[in-house]
Amino acid sequence: MYENNFPHKRYQITLDFLKKHIAKNESILDLGVLNPFSEILINEGFNVINTQGQDLDLDTSIVKKNNFDVVTAFQIFEHMVAPFNVLSDIKTNKLIASVPLSLWFSKAYRNNKDKWDRHYHEFEDWQFDWLLEKSGWKIKDHVKFVNPVKKNDFFIELLLRPKVFKIAISFVLFFIKMVNPEIILNAATIKIKVKIINITFRSTLRALKKDLFKSVHEYTK
């Protein structure tokens, strides 16, 4: 699935987050077919059942059954056209979900060879929160991280910020002017093509419970 880009850090953070909120005796319905992370959960002793590849935009019957203690959805909702429907239909009181966050300079992800491997949504964190709250969930805990971590990731992360990127480009253009004053720089005529290798991958995790029993469902520290 991941070939030479296995998401070790994302999996470890997700596993730690899940262990923080889910007991191993709780039954888990993991949205999506069996995958490397669900296999990790099974090997860790969690009781996990995956969906069988049904289109959750059109068929939400599996989550309407109250046979599970927890529903998990790791990197699922960005692939769906209408995740609001399945989120609203979930009958369990506990949900742990993750999505990749949007990158301001990047278009929506699309794999032309696989119709399931494409993003309809590129969430900002506030949009994901809004979707969850609108569909009846109350956020209890979350973590945001950048993946993968390499020695130069700190500087890459800085450049991913729009203001920092604009400042960096301004310095580059100023340097070009100093080196060759005869060059006329015009934003309408200059095309800057940037190839970014090992781009950082922003993700966010949310642990939620429907606010059915008020403080009864609050997590204890």
Residue 206 lies in a domain: yes
pTM: 0.67
Domain enclosing residue 186, as ranges: 150-199
pLDDT tops 50 at residue 184:
no
Supply the pLDDT for residue 196: 36
For residues 131 and 172, give the distance between their C-alpha atoms in angstroms, rounded to a whole number. 40
Q: What is the pLDDT of residue 200?
A: 41
Residues 66, 21 within the same domain: yes
Q: Please indicate, yes or no, whether residues 109 and 171 belong to a single structural domain of this protein.
A: no
What is the separation, in whole angstroms, between the first and last Cα of the chain?
A: 37
Question: Does the pLDDT value for residue 9 go beyond 60?
Answer: yes
Whether residue 108 is found in the same domain as residue 159: no
At 121 the pLDDT is 74
Say if 2 falls within a structural domain: no
- Whether residue 186 lies inside any domain: the answer is yes
Residue 55 pLDDT > 80, yes or no?
Answer: yes
Tell me: the pLDDT tens digits for 90-111? 999 999 999 888 755 556 666 7
Residue 131 lies in a domain: yes
pLDDT at 5: 65
Question: Based on the domain organization, do 134 and 48 belong to the same domain?
Answer: yes
List pLDDT tens digits, range 107-120: 666 677 767 667 67
What's residue 187's pLDDT?
A: 41
- 15, 66: one domain: yes
For tokens 């029993």, name the residue: 213
The CATH number that applies at residue 120 is 3.40.50.150
Residue 79 has what DSSP assignment? G
Do 99 and 119 sit in the same domain of this protein? yes
Q: Which pair of tokens denotes residue 71?
A: 């529903």
How does the average pLDDT of the chain come out, rounded? 75
What is the Cα–Cα distance from 207 to 162, expressed in whole angstroms? 29
**Which pLDDT value is given to residue 159?**
55
With respect to residue 76, please indicate whether it lies within any of the assigned structural domains: yes
Check whether residue 174 and residue 209 sit in a common domain: no
More confident residue, 169 or 24: 24
Residues 158 and 114 in one domain: no
d(CA 148, CA 172): 27
Place of tokens 């008020």: 214
Tokens of 116: 């399931």
Same domain membership, residue 158 and residue 105: no
Assigned domain for 194 exists: yes
Average pLDDT over every residue of 141-151: 71
Report yes or no: 3 and 111 within 8 Å, Cβ to Cβ.
no
Between residues 122 and 173, the one the model is more confident about: 122
My answer on whether 168 and 188 are in the same domain is: yes
> 23 with 45: CB under 8 angstroms?
no
Task: Mark whether 135 and 158 lie in a shared domain.
Answer: no
In this structure, is residue 106 part of a structural domain?
yes
- β-sheet with 47-50: strand ranges across: 47-50, 27-30, 70-74, 94-100, 201-209, 138-147
- Both tokens of residue 194? 């940037």
Q: How many domains does the chain contain in total?
A: 2
Tell me the residue length of the chain.
221
**Are 37 and 131 part of one and the same domain?**
yes
Residue 1 falls inside a structural domain? no
Instruction: Read off the pLDDT band of 77 (50, 70, 90).
Output: very high
